[in-house]
Every structure is written in structure tokens, then in C-alpha cells.
Amino acid sequence: MSVKVFLTEDEIPRQWYNLAADLPSPLNPPLGPDGKPVTPEMLAPVFPMNLIEQMVSTQRWIDIPEGVLEILYLWRPSPLHRAVFLEKALDTPAKIYYKNESISPPGSHKPNTAVAQAWFNKQFGIKKLTTETGAGQWGSALAFACALLGLECKVFMVRISFDQKPYRKLMMQTWGANCVASPSTETQAGRDILAKDPDTPGSLGIAISEAIEQAVTDKSGTTRYSIGSALNHVLLHQTIIGLEAKKQLEKIGEKRVDVVIGCAGGGSNFAGLSFPFVNDKIHGAEIDIIPVEPFSCPTMTRASFVYDHGDAAKMTPLLAMHSLGHDFIPPPIHAGGLRYHGMAPLVSQGIIEGLLTPRAIHQLESYSSAVLFAKTEGIIAAPETSHAIAAVIQEAKKAKEECKEKVILFNMSGHGLMDLSGYDRYFQGELEDYALPEEEIHAALENIKDLPKPQLVKSGKW
Ligand SMILES: *Cc1c(COP(=O)(O)O)cnc(C)c1O
């Protein structure tokens, strides 16, 4: 029996999979300030045209350039592990497999898209990328990619994380990026906020506004903005995870998968693993595909499907997605990467179709699950990933009750070695479960009630 399965570099997938080609119902288009669909030209100051083409593409397979693969080979193909010791501890008949994305140099799945985005920007003649980061996973992934491709990188890091999490900032610095606390005095958006509230802890929404402003106001025209999740091209770049997993399962003779699980903040690592399997489901396979979120930021399980902005300053187009409202400030749980008010439009439409069945997990259950995983499989998971692990354990227990030898696959999206203070608070008994009161959900939605409404279209097949 194999405990892990490798692919050679020759066996790496050479095309990304685009779910937009196969969704049975069309996506609602992103809208501009005038309420009309945005044109590629409108996005051109923010993103390079080659990435805008991917963002709006409905082509099923998109070639991965050789130059991108050359960098991905530093850690890809990533291994597929069988969690034999976790299975034993749970005494389950289920077989549990996971893709190990924690082995990338920055420690998560995020460089899969950071490398691709940096490469396409460079091809387009761009010299500098700006971005935002919360806890620092995305900022460090982009800093790493820019270092390898020789691009300048500027990261606006949410003030509270900048002060509390020095190690991710030092990783960015080591890779040569310039990381400043947001709000900063470098942008109008930052100065406006600081004038009103000099001691603000900052937010992702503010940091996004600063990063976009700095990109679009660079008069040389060689700066663009880079985004870590949610948009179609980001999800596209992550599908290499699921495409590798399929080859690996085939290699060890696993003929079917019953359950596919990933944690979802903006939706990219979940989509990356699951979309190739969503394609199978569209073509008749029976698979439970479960994106997992925290109870405290219940975008998929409790928010409505609306048109909303991706950032607090309303600089992004309106996206059709499940959203808690662009003003929503989630409670400060440790899974920073899951504290986002919206969800990727492709994942949202998959939920509307009934192809995906989202689940919410409480903070304490996610930590107890991560500790069990660390004690059995050895890897200390990121607080985000621990939500997926908790759902895996629930499914493995269910398989035991039903006496079924199910095959469960999940995405080990990252390690938690830079996030040990959350484990510390868990061990000290300082963490608590937090479910969002219904009033707060209503209040946050109040501010978007006048925005256009997306069409709720579904084929009715699932
Ligand atoms: C950022 C992050 C996430 C959440 O982002 P998605 O785009 O939803 O994948 C999950 N896990 C880890 C380890 C992360 O760094």
C-alpha cells in the first residue's frame, strides 16, 4: 500500500482546467460603476491584458507556459499522501488522501498563482507588482514569485498583522519585497483613513484599495496589481493541484473519489483541488464536493448571492457572489485567510447549481482536528487548513457509521509554522466558538441593498 504518490516532472499537467467552459449555467458578468458589464479595457490599468484574457475566458483548457512550469518544478508536482495514521486513529473504513501544498517554499498553495501572475506580467512588460496581504501568506507568495522573476514587489500589509506577525514580513523582506503597514501615508486612500482614525488596525479592504491605487497611479505604466484569490484566473492557476491529484489517484489504482474537501476563504485552493472533479460530477459522477468555512465568517452557508465589491473602497468591479457585504469586518479568528466577505464567483455559481455543498466549522473543532492531524500525520496545519481537516474527520466518522469504504480527498493548503500563536491561545483555553448573530448579517447587507441583483440561474440537474 502506498503512503505517498509522486509524479515525475514529465508527468506534470501542461494545461490548466477552466470550469467556466463547463458550468451548465452562465456566470453573471462583473459590472462596472455604471451597472454595465466591465470591458477588458476598463480593467487594463489594474491587470495586464494577458491575465484579463484568462479572467474572462471560457476556453476549457489553457496552456501552462514552459517558463511557469520551470519555476513550479522547484516543488511541483506535489505529493499525494494517504493519511494512514489518521485513518487508524479514527478507526474508519474510509481512505483519506491529501494533496500536500504546504511544501512550496512560502508554505502554501498560493505560489501556484503568484508564479503564473508574475510570469504573465513580466511577459507584458510590467516591472512592478503591488498587492495586499492580511496574515502574510499571499504577500510572501508574491514576494517569492517576484524574486524568481526579477520583478519589484510592494505589499500593503494590514496594520494589526504587520505588528503582530513579524515573521511573514521578514520572509517578504528576504525575498526582496517592500512590505509596509496599511493604512500607509503613501496613498490617498491610506492618508484619508489615517486622518480620520490614526490608530486604526487596518483591514484587507483598505489594503486592497491602497495596492490598486498605487498600481494605477504609477505614471510609467509599468506597475500592475496582483490578487491572491477569488477571480477566475486565480482559480484557474490553482487547478494544477486537482489535475495532479487525478493522475496520482489513477497511478495507485483508485478508480473513484466519493468526497472532495477544501477550506475556502476566497475559494482558490478549494477550487484548485475540486474543479477537475466538478467536471466529473457534471458528467455524471457521484461526488460530494465540500467547501469549508468558519462559522464566524459564513459567506457560503448564510450570506446571500448578490452583486458586491471585492474591497471596502469599492474600487473593484461588482462581482456576482455570496457576500456578507464589502463593509463586513469578520471577528478576529486565527484563520486569517478565511476572513473574507465574499466568495469566488465560480464557486458561488457552483453552489447555486447544487454541485457544491458548503459546510461551516467552529474554531475549537478546527483546532482540535488540527492537533489530532499533527499527532497522527505529523504536519502542523495552517489555521485555515484545519477547517478542511475538521470536515474530513466528520466525513470519516460518517463513513464508519455507514460502514462504507469511502475515498476522501482533501487539500492540505498550507502549514501553520508561522501561525503557532493561534495554537498557543487554543492550548491556553483562550479561544471560543463564535457564530455570527443574524442581526449582524442583516446590518452588513444593508449597505449593498441598492446594488444591482444577479440573476439566479440554475439548470436544476443537482
Ligand atoms: C490564503 C489561504 C487559504 C484561503 O484562501 P483560498 O483562496 O480560499 O484558498 C487557505 N489556506 C491557506 C494555507 C492559505 O494561506
| Index of the ligand 1 atom closest to the CA of residue 108 | 13
Ligand 1 pocket, 264 CB below 6 A? yes
Domain 4-14+64-107+232-446 has CATH 3.40.50.1100: yes
Q: Is the peptide bond before 183 cis (omega within 30 degrees of 0)?
A: yes
Distance from C-alpha of 220 to C-alpha of 211, rounded to nearest angstrom = 16
Ligand 1 center to residue 34 CA distance, Å? Answer: 32
**CA of 268 relative to ligand 1 center, distance in Å:** 7
DSSP states of 117-171: HHHHHHHTT--EEEEEESSSHHHHHHHHHHHHHT-EEEEEEEHHHHHH-HHHHHH
Same fold, 4-14+64-107+232-446 and 111-225: yes
> How many whole angstroms separate alpha carbon 140 and alpha carbon 76?
18
* In the chain, domain spans: 4-14+64-107+232-446, 111-225
* Ligand 1 in reach of 267 Cβ (< 6 A): yes
The answer to whether the CB of 229 is under 6 A from ligand 1 is yes
> Does ligand 1 come within 6 angstroms of the Cβ of 419?
no
Tens digit of each residue's pLDDT, the chain (462 residues): 789 999 999 999 999 999 999 999 999 999 998 999 999 999 999 999 999 999 999 999 999 999 999 999 999 999 999 999 999 999 999 999 999 999 999 999 999 999 999 999 999 999 999 999 988 999 999 999 999 999 999 999 999 889 888 899 999 999 999 999 999 999 999 999 999 999 988 888 889 999 999 999 999 999 999 999 999 999 999 999 999 999 999 999 999 999 999 999 999 999 999 999 999 999 999 999 999 999 999 999 999 999 999 887 788 899 999 999 988 877 777 777 888 889 999 999 999 999 999 999 999 999 999 999 999 999 999 999 999 999 999 999 999 999 999 999 999 999 999 999 999 999 999 999 988 888 888 888 888 999 999 999 999 999
Regarding the beta carbon of 137 and ligand 1, being less than 6 Å apart is answered yes
For the chain, the maximum distance between any two Cα atoms, rounded to a whole number of angstroms, is 64
Whose CA is closest to atom 10 on ligand 1?
Answer: 384
**pTM of the entire predicted model:** 0.97
Alpha-carbon Rg for the chain, nearest whole angstrom, is 21
265 lines ligand 1 (CB under 6 A): yes
- Residue 211 to residue 190: CA distance in whole angstroms: 10
- Considering only the top CATH level, what class is 111-225? alpha beta
Q: Is the CB of residue 291 below 6 angstroms from any atom belonging to ligand 1?
A: no
